[in-house]
């Protein structure tokens, strides 16, 4: 699993990736990178500003939910986003549209 959610030469990159969890499975995480900053986020996590490291007002689930609901998303992208979102039972899920 590797999907670019956002990429900009100045703002950095956000990717949905599969991160090994110690078993044979890969857990979907939202990885944000900009220069020296690199952090992985789960759906409930409040995102950090890549410039300051300060918390933003947005959860990772909000970003992935919006991205996955773009009509241009492929079935694979939607499936992987759904795997990410379903890690948080109280968060947004794709079947809620």
Scan for tokens 């992985």, then name that residue.
40
Domain ranges of the chain: 2-90
User: What do you get for the CA distance between the two ends of the chain, in Å?
Assistant: 24
Give the single-character DSSP code of 19. Answer: E
Task: Give CA angle at 7 (14, 34), nearest 5°.
Answer: 65
Per-residue pLDDT of the chain (97 residues; tens, 9 = 90+): 899 999 988 778 999 999 877 666 788 999 999 888 888 999 999 887 655 667 778 899 999 999 999 999 999 999 999 999 999 999 998 875 4
Angle between helices 60-68 and 75-85 (to 10 degrees): 160
């Amino acid at each position: 699993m590797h999907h670019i959610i956002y990429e900009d030469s100045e703002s950095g990159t956000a990717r949905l990736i599969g991160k090994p969890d110690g078993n044979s499975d890969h857990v979907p995480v939202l990885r944000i990178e900009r220069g020296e900053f690199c952090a992985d986020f789960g759906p409930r996590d409040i995102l950090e500003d890549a410039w300051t490291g300060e918390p933003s007002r947005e959860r990772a689930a909000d970003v992935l939910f919006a991205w996955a609901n773009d009509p241009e998303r492929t079935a694979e992208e939607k499936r992987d986003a759904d795997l990410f979102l379903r890690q948080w039972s109280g968060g947004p899920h794709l079947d809620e549209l």
